Structure formats: C-alpha cells, structure tokens
C-alpha cells in the first residue's frame, strides 16, 4: 500500500476534532441571533462537543496504531497527531464551558437564597 493513500481514520479524527472545536462557538452564535433560545441554552451542546473530541482522540489513536502496524507504509501519522491535538482542544473547550455553566448555576442559586 503506497504511503500517498493516507489513513482514513486519521482524516476522520481531524474532521471530528474540528467539529468538536466549532461546536461551542457555533451554539453560542446560534443563541445570539435566535429569539427562541437564550445563551444558557447553548449548554446543551457541551456533551456533543465533548463526544466529538473523545471520538477524535479515539480515531487518532486507531490511526496511529494502524500506521505503526503497517510500519509507516500506511501513512497518516502526522495527520493523526493533528486530529489528536484538535480532539484534546475540543474536550478542553467543552470542559471550560461546563465549568462556566456550573459557576453560573452556583451564582444563580446563591443569588436566590435571600
């Protein structure tokens, strides 16, 4: 198998990683210009962003394993590394959004106790 063929799992990890990173900003953007949703409703996208990030990491791991088993002839090692990094960033964005929503909920709760 020629090295120019590439590794499908590696490219899938990049796509999932980019989708993971774009999920939260896109959810916030949609709530900004929608009358039906408020900013807090964007929190429903947190599990989707985290799931896409985890999928990107898993796909990158699979691609790197396939590349290693093929002694580098399969290719995609560098692409898989990019997919892994994008997946990690996506999970971090989802975790940051989760912390932000939790702090908001805590402050909302503390503000209503009077």
Residue 72 is predicted with a pLDDT of 63
* Distances from the Cα of 40 to the Cα of 32, 77, 90, 104, angstroms: 10, 39, 19, 9
- Residues with pLDDT less than 50, the chain: 1-4
Return the H-helix or E-strand segment holding 71: none
Residue 6 is predicted with a pLDDT of 60
Residue 53 is predicted with a pLDDT of 97
Residue 2 is predicted with a pLDDT of 45
Residue 39 is predicted with a pLDDT of 86
**By the 8 A CB rule, do 83 and 14 touch?**
yes
Residue 1 is predicted with a pLDDT of 41
Residue 74 is predicted with a pLDDT of 61
Residue 3 is predicted with a pLDDT of 46
CA–CA separation, 113 and 27 (whole Å): 30
Residue 37 is predicted with a pLDDT of 86
């Amino acid at each position: 198998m020629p090295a120019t063929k590439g590794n499908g799992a590696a490219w899938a990890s990049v796509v999932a990683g980019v989708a993971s990173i774009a999920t939260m900003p896109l959810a916030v953007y949609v709530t900004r210009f929608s009358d039906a949703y408020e900013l807090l409703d964007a929190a429903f996208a947190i599990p989707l962003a985290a799931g896409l990030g985890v999928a990107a990491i898993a796909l990158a791991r699979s691609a790197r394993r396939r590349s290693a088993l093929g002694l580098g002839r399969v290719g995609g090692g560098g692409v898989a590394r990019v997919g892994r990094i994008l997946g990690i960033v996506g999970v971090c964005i989802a975790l940051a959004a989760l912390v932000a929503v939790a702090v908001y909920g805590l402050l909302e709760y503390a503000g209503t106790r009077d």
